[in-house]
Amino acid sequence: MEPFTRLTAIAAPLDRADVDTDMLIPQRFLRKPLTVGYRSFLFYNDRYDAAGKLRGDFLLDREPYTQARIIVSGPNFGCGSTREGAVYAVVDFGIRAVIAPSFGPFYASNSYQNGLLPVVLPEDDVRGLLEQLAAAPGAEITIDLPSQTVTDPAGRQYRFEIEPARKERMLGGIDDIAATGEFAGMRDALERKLEAETPWLTGKELAELTS
């Protein structure tokens, strides 16, 4: 996945609470292969009419928000099911971060696995961001992961928390699969070292030492 360090981008003010996974991507699209692209499925029921034609009036389909890479939204963003497709759709649309007072726990976990940064700020601060963005369409926000700060259009900074392990993986663009591969490589190297230094040990004993 793509590393996340510092992002300055247009932020879209999606002033809604409880944006659930079915809003983000209806269940009927989840069997589609990722190769078809999940971009068009994002907020499908809000963006398309009954005939499947794009309405064009949804926030992310209007300028300047077609260029947005950050969403600012209300509490409980991504609540609902565990469907990872709800993250795929957001990422495929070009969004790299979502700022909200809270997230559905499964959605937050899936976000980290796919390079989407979920930023939690106090509800009053998020409300202030939404008001600023609504008053100045196209305004930019900066998210700096190394310093764990959000800078609003007026230059004010807000600090957010993130688990150190999550932060390290986001900075390096490492998901759980890649992390497991790194661990396996380290284990194999240790086994080779022990085999060279302790040739009298059996395979079973080596496995016990490196497990």
Per-residue pLDDT of the chain (211 residues; tens, 9 = 90+): 999 999 999 999 999 999 999 999 999 999 898 888 899 999 999 999 999 999 999 999 999 999 999 999 999 999 999 999 999 999 999 999 999 999 999 999 999 999 999 999 999 999 999 999 999 999 999 999 999 999 999 999 999 999 999 999 999 999 865 555 444 455 566 556 656 666 655 555 545 555 5
What CATH number does the domain located at 6-166 have?
A: 3.20.19.10
Distance CA 131, CA 3 (A): 30
Distance CA 136, CA 59 (A): 14
Residue type present at position 39: R
**Domain residues of the chain, as ranges?**
6-166, 178-210
DSSP lists the bridge partners of residue 149 as: 144, 159
Distance CA 151, CA 89 (A): 26
Half-sphere exposure of 112 (CA within 13 A, CB side): 22
Distance CA 161, CA 147 (A): 10
Closest residue by Cα to residue 63 from 130, 137, 13, 131: 137
* 158 SS3 class: strand
What lies within 8 Å, CB to CB, of 207 at 6+ separation is none
Which residue has 């944006």 as its token pair? Answer: 19
70 burial class (0-12, 13-18, 19+ CB within 10 angstroms)?
Answer: buried
Closest residue by Cα to residue 153 from 164, 142, 167: 142
